[in-house]
Structure 1
Amino acid sequence: MRLKTFNTGEMASGGRRLALVFSLAVALGGCDTLSSMNPFDKPEVYKPEVLPTVPADKLYNEGLARMQNGDSEGATKKFEEIDKQAPFSPYSRKGLILTAYTNYQASKWDDAITASKRFLAQNPASPDAAYAQYIMAMSYFNQIPDATRDQERTEQALRAMQELLDRYPRSEYVVDVREKMLVARDQLAGKEMNVGRFYLEKRNYPGAVNRFRDVITKYQTTRHVEEALMRLTEAYMALGITNEAQTAAAVLGHNFPDSPWYKDAYVLLESGGLQPREDRGSYISRLFNGFSRTVTGLIR
């Protein structure tokens, strides 16, 4: 069999034809690719999965069930879901107050405060408003630090408790709030005493006087008032203001005659050749005019 032969010209011409055909094929393929990327084509629209809405009453009952089983966190999620899915339903208000409660039960104090404030803003005339105020106040109260640290939370607790007394004076929470206010005020007095003692040690007597004066002015019914009067005697003696030193000791002896702090104040004055003597014109004397340790301690 004879093999077909190609001359050089034919081979070159054939090569050019193959190259042309290949180029056209690539071009056509490219056109197909470009046509699939037409910018005017509509992009595929993402369709999120729509979950079925759970009725508010069912969420509420599920939240109650979890709360009764001690699952405060799970109950909170159910009550919060009511607000998202049915914010205007009758169950939304109930869910919000229970959100505050379950957060409180879980020791999530700040979340309980937030929910309580929101409830009060939306339902100021609700029968549950006093309870929301109480949850908020107790959430602050449970964050009170020791007397060596910043007392912002203590002050917030006092304001919240005082607001409860002012707005809801006949609520069932009044007795408990009054007792806890005494604890909070005692804590604030303790903070002032710590700073005052520090100033005494550093011989900053004017600074010490200011702190102890705050105690006898703002926190008369706390357990710190006796020591504050004795420390005032000490600071005023160091400053040479003997009439105030004598008055502080005299007021201490008059109101707390059996106090060991009075004995210390008496010995201190006696070492300087002085005796307790009340100056009726002194601010210390005026502060304790009609003083009674049985006062509830709610002076604002």
Structure 2
Amino acid sequence: MARVAVVALAASATSVLVTACQNDPDIDITKLAAETDPPDVLYNQGLANLNAGKTTEAARKFDAIDQQHPFSEYARKALVMRSFVNYRNGQYQDAINGATRYLNLYPESEDAAYAQYIVGLAYSKQIPAVTQDQKPAMRTIEAMQAVVTKYPDSDYVEDAEAKIRFAKDQLAGKEMQVGRYYLERKEYLAAITRFRTVVEQYPNTNQVEEALSRLVESYFAMGITSEAQTAAAVLGHNYPDSQWYADAYKLLQTGGLEPRESGNSWISRAGKKLLGA
């Protein structure tokens, strides 16, 4: 009877322990296994969890490698994958910090291009509407340009270039927003400065057509007709079917003018860098 009582007590204690492990979120019942598994096993488990969409479990596996096997080859691989998990989870600054740490530690490694790409992706996801501050767009350009320049043969160049184009469109859009504000207030010099920035610094963005048309409008309002005509001529040469060109041409006609390019104008020089030049 005493032996039966001991067995019953042990069984009861085990039941309580299992129940506690199931109900207490602070108890990690897989921690011991994570600490004792070899790094290659942990890494493969992390990848499997990531592919299955279990990012929390994937992060735990990659963190275990960093903590338990910090000097292994898999610790290096886990660091960049942990950065990707952070990116996937929307933890963009953590992703940037982790990928930057990786680049500082392993600048010549085979995964350096991927780490740099993650930095660019994390910044690109933070690009806001053009009405807001565009620092993330500038950071995106810097990070993705590093991918293109430092790792020209990597698989990430094509998308990096696409992200650069989008970021530049955003920066140009911000300039246009401010320029239109000044134009509406008839502060023509301030407006021209913004539209000029778009034409000179972002010549191949989707904002250039409007920028040239707004330059026609601004210069025409100031009575600087030669610059207005040049802006219209450059606009017509590059975008002959554009509604912005049609509007600019119609505006010039109200003053008995037509598009005519002046080779001495900054607009003419900038026009040579446009897509249709």
Question: What's the TM-score once normalised by structure 1's chain length?
Answer: 0.77
Instruction: Say which one has the larger Rg.
Output: 1
Q: Secondary structure at the match of 1:203?
A: coil
Contact kept in structure 2, 1:233 and 1:245, CA below 8 Å? yes
Cα distance in 2 for partners of 1:115, 1:68 equals 20
> Please, which of 208, 224, 233 is the counterpart of residue 225 of structure 1?
208
Contact kept in structure 2, 1:158 and 1:184, CA below 8 Å? yes
1:237 maps to 2:220: yes
Contact kept in structure 1, 2:204 and 2:274, CA below 8 Å? no
Residue type of the alignment partner of 1:135: I
> Please, which of 190, 197, 202 is the counterpart of residue 185 of structure 2?
202
Q: Secondary structure at the match of 1:217?
A: helix
Residue type of the alignment partner of 1:234: E
Residue type of the alignment partner of 1:207: A
Deviates more, 1:251-260 or 1:66-75: 66-75
RMSD of aligned C-alpha atoms?
Answer: 1.8
Other-structure match for 1:118:
101
State the shift of 1:291 in Å: 3.6
Percent identical across equivalent pairs?
Answer: 50
Cα distance in 1 for partners of 2:225, 2:196 equals 16
1:72 maps to 2:55: yes
Residue type of the alignment partner of 1:154: A
Cα distance in 2 for partners of 1:61, 1:280 equals 63
Contact kept in structure 2, 1:56 and 1:85, CA below 8 Å? no
> Please, which of 54, 72, 80 is the counterpart of residue 36 of structure 2?
54
Residue type of the alignment partner of 2:62: F
> Please, which of 132, 155, 162 is the counterpart of residue 179 of structure 1?
162
Other-structure match for 1:27:
none
> Please, which of 122, 125, 128 is the counterpart of residue 111 of structure 2?
128
Q: Which runs of 5+ in 2 are unaligned?
A: 1-30
Cα distance in 1 for partners of 2:237, 2:146 equals 35
Question: What's the TM-score once normalised by structure 2's chain length?
Answer: 0.83
Q: Secondary structure at the match of 2:142?
A: helix
Corresponding residue pairs, total: 244
> Please, which of 98, 113, 128 is the counterpart of residue 145 of structure 1?
128
State the shift of 1:232 in Å: 0.3
Residue type of the alignment partner of 1:131: Y
Contact kept in structure 1, 2:168 and 2:202, CA below 8 Å? yes
State the shift of 1:91 in Å: 1.8
State the shift of 1:114 in Å: 1.1
Listed as ranges, the matches of 1:75-94 within 5 Å are 75-94=58-77
State the shift of 1:74 in Å: 2.4
Q: Which runs of 5+ in 1 are unaligned?
A: 1-50, 295-300
